[in-house]
Amino acid sequence: MAEITKDMTIGEILRINPNVAPILMEIGMHCLGCPSAQGETLEEAAMVHGIKIDDLMEKVAEA
């Protein structure tokens, strides 16, 4: 499985590992299928949602 980075779009991440979806939903990122998810990086989405990217990356790595 490819390594997930904070510079990847949410869409890319979900294609690599669909198990990340529940983690994102749990923290309030409910629009996983919207156009923003295809063009917004995980880091950008975290910033918009007020989430620390390092904390989120730890959770994603466990998926």
Query: Could you report the per-residue pLDDT of 4-48, keeping only the tens digit for each?
Result: 999 999 889 989 999 999 999 888 887 777 777 778 899 998 998
Higher per-residue confidence, 37 vs 57:
57
Kindly report the pTM of this predicted structure.
Answer: 0.83
- pLDDT value for 17: 93
Please state, in angstroms and rounded to a whole number, the distance separating the CA atoms of residues 3 and 49. 23
Please state, in angstroms and rounded to a whole number, the distance separating the CA atoms of residues 23 and 25. 5
Q: Which residue blocks in 1-63 are alpha helix, DSSP H? A: 10-16, 21-26, 35-39, 42-48, 53-62
Higher per-residue confidence, 55 vs 39:
55
- pLDDT value for 7: 95
End-to-end Cα, the chain, rounded Å: 12
